[in-house]
Structure 1
Amino acid sequence: MASELNTEINFQPPPNELAVVTRRDAIQHPFLEKLYHWGKSARYFRFGTPMGQDHLAFSDNELNFKNFNQAVAIFKEGKTEYGKAYVQLIKEDLKKIGYELEEVTIQAVGGGVHFERPKVTYGIQIKEKYLDVITSHHHISTGMFRALSLFIQLNYSLLASLPSCIIIDDIGEGLDYSRSSALMNLLINKTKNTKIQLIMSTNDRFVMNAVPLEYWSVIQRFPHKAMIYNYVNSKALFDKFELTGLSNFDFFSSNYFLKKD
């Protein structure tokens, strides 16, 4: 539908390109703008990677919000805009998954030369409740830093009311079962009734069992095609499985989602 002409018109985008991209036009197709901005705001996190622990920031005036996957920059931006309330949210979230922190700060961690000029590098430092010493950026455990980085960025989006899609691959990687399960439940609860769409991928049995089936989407792949089974398009099948008393992982491992109703 072309809005200005108020009529339907035929069009033929290239077969290997998305119509929502090739036909983007704020005047004729304004309804596509929402899809465009949703896609542009998507943030992809690979939980099995350092999640920003391998990046420091040079000099305070370069700690900016340009790199959305840089934990140091996001933390500074959030603390500048929202102050102690932002830091407190991060500490509360970490406590809920088993990490009790008294402080989360940005500190200079050393000097260096960048483009032939001396620079000071900045990183995140934490003070755990039951430790007497400060833990610097590179000495924070891998699993803890991944969770810290995720909450730094998620809480910024929530406080800023940024409509966004957050995609997390291999969620829970590097965390024990207890913390991984707590992280799943916390993420689901924090993003309910918000402007954030949360998509998490995993093949971990414990993670699967921690997430209710109503939030599942099982993907069956074929050459050049993929089928998705979820609670919206296969509700009867999902409800029937819950009566079996089996674990959520069995729904996937037994190929139960392929059974006819």
Structure 2
Amino acid sequence: MIITRLQYEEYSGEEQEWRLATVDFSEINLIVGKNSTGKSRVLGVISGLARLVDGQQKILYDNCAYEVGFSRDQDVFEYLLKIKKGVVIDERLRLNGKELFSRDEQGEGRIWNEKTQEFLEFSIPNDILVLSAKRDRLQHSYIENFHTWAGRVRFYPFGTSLGREQLAQVPEVIALLNGESAMDHSRLFDVYSRGFALWEEDYDKAILKDLELLGYPCTDVGVDQINIKGMKGFQLAAIYVHEVNLKSPTFQTVMSQGMFRALGMVIHLNYACFLGESRTVVIDDIGEGLDFERACLFVNLLIDRCQEHQFQLFMSTNDRFVMNEVDLDHWCILHREGSLVQATTKRNSPELFREFEFLGLNNFDLFSAGIFSAERGLRH
């Protein structure tokens, strides 16, 4: 299941109001725009909705509203959620135009029961989503689609350390390798260790192949104990690679930030590919910290893998090299006026894109000064 449409607002009518006008998405999406247009915020809305549906996060905003379109095979879902003062005041779900459930601010409503083929009334707490309270594979199997989607959304803030400073205790790693402890998908140690436990050398070989493609040729990757000055007595482990032409392994603690970001994403990406499950991959500041050549190689690798495995991909950037590398078919250009953010894509503005492509300029010029205006037109 993928997101095809999103409209969002928070604190409507108040000083801190922020609104995202309806934006359409495809399987591959590069969200571009100048600083402070809302790129990271849009990605946060997507990952935040997933955490809300999955139960990882309680209602965050006192006043917000989502209108989201999803597609799964030939089915189209329309989900509406409105929250005010921490209370759900409206929540509805439709499938191919047919209502599946609706509720009011008292938590009362009706839901389609697949087993009895009728609508049944319900009453739930007004601070809980119907998607959470009425989860039932036998009676409301359609709700399971949303939990599957939400549980497989992965958010990566590429412009951060991505956990480079996090070390693991040796017993933790051993337990993960033996399948004796629960896995935290946000921790690189957990992902690598579980991946190696499941697929062994094949997993390592896939990681090394991708690292070489990105310009980081290595002969080995793994987790090993590391000694850190001032922490004697602690059994700590770190991820390492053995770079070609170096005599000793390079541990994460001394890797360049760019190399560690590439390694971390390659580990996460290969885990998802080997697992063979659908994914929604959300990456903020894609390519940050990588040189021009590696940033381009990484973006192309990411797009190819997501298309091959039918993952939905959301990336954000304001980097001209990344923009020039990604086809305009995947672009979602944000422009903001005050508290309102609007988006332009090839799907909602085909004439604009056709006119620009005729000019023969670089992709980056589409929204640079003198070329693109917030009124969705080309400046001549």
Alignment deviations for residues 119-148 of structure 1 (CA, whole Å, 9 cap, x no partner): 411111111113233212201111000000
Find 1:233's aligned residue among 340, 345, 348.
Answer: 348
Comparing 17-26 and 122-131, the one that deviates more:
17-26
Q: State the SS of the aligned residue for 1:190.
A: helix
Find 1:178's aligned residue among 280, 288, 293.
Answer: 293
Q: Partner of 2:239 in structure 1?
A: 124
- 2:376 matches 1:259: yes
Deviation at 1:238, TM superposition (A): 2.2
Q: State the SS of the aligned residue for 1:167.
A: strand
- Structure 2 Cα separation of the partners of residues 90 and 121 of structure 1: 23
Comparing 138-147 and 51-60, the one that deviates more:
51-60
Find 1:213's aligned residue among 310, 324, 328.
Answer: 328
Deviation at 1:234, TM superposition (A): 2.8
Find 1:147's aligned residue among 257, 262, 268.
Answer: 262
1:188-227 → structure 2 map (5 Å cutoff): 188-221=303-336, 225-227=340-342
- Structure 2 Cα separation of the partners of residues 245 and 40 of structure 1: 42
Q: State the SS of the aligned residue for 1:44.
A: strand
Does the CA-based 8 Å contact 2:335-2:374 persist in structure 1?
Answer: no
Find 2:174's aligned residue among 61, 69, 82.
Answer: 61
Q: State the SS of the aligned residue for 2:312.
A: strand
Distance 1:21 1:209, change over 3 A: farther
- 2:159 matches 1:48: yes
Alignment deviations for residues 157-209 of structure 1 (CA, whole Å, 9 cap, x no partner): 11001222111111111111011011111111111131421111111111111
Q: State the SS of the aligned residue for 1:139.
A: coil
- Structure 2 Cα separation of the partners of residues 10 and 258 of structure 1: 46
- 2:213 matches 1:96: yes
Deviation at 1:230, TM superposition (A): 2.0
- Structure 2 Cα separation of the partners of residues 212 and 219 of structure 1: 16
Does the CA-based 8 Å contact 1:57-1:73 persist in structure 2?
Answer: no
Q: Partner of 1:137 in structure 2?
A: 252
RMSD: 3.3
Q: Partner of 1:248 in structure 2?
A: 363
Q: Partner of 2:202 in structure 1?
A: 85
What count of residue pairs does the alignment treat as equivalent? Answer: 258
* TM-score between both structures, scaled by the size of structure 2: 0.60
Distance 1:164 1:136, change over 3 A: same
Distance 1:6 1:256, change over 3 A: farther
Distance 1:17 1:169, change over 3 A: farther
* Percent of pairs with identical residues: 33
Please state which structure has a larger fraction of its residues in strand. 2
Distance 1:107 1:188, change over 3 A: same
Does the CA-based 8 Å contact 1:213-1:231 persist in structure 2?
Answer: yes
Tell me which amino acid in the other structure corresponds to 1:182: L
- Structure 1 Cα separation of the partners of residues 134 and 149 of structure 2: 16
- Structure 1 Cα separation of the partners of residues 291 and 263 of structure 2: 15
Find 2:149's aligned residue among 26, 38, 41.
Answer: 38
Deviation at 1:69, TM superposition (A): 2.1
Distance 1:211 1:19, change over 3 A: farther
- Structure 2 Cα separation of the partners of residues 145 and 218 of structure 1: 29
Deviation at 1:240, TM superposition (A): 2.9
- Structure 1 Cα separation of the partners of residues 334 and 135 of structure 2: 28
Distance 1:31 1:221, change over 3 A: farther
Does the CA-based 8 Å contact 1:51-1:69 persist in structure 2?
Answer: no
Tell me which amino acid in the other structure corresponds to 1:152: I
Q: Extract unaligned runs of 5+ from structure 2.
A: 1-99, 101-111
Higher relative contact order (CA 8 A, sep 6+): 2
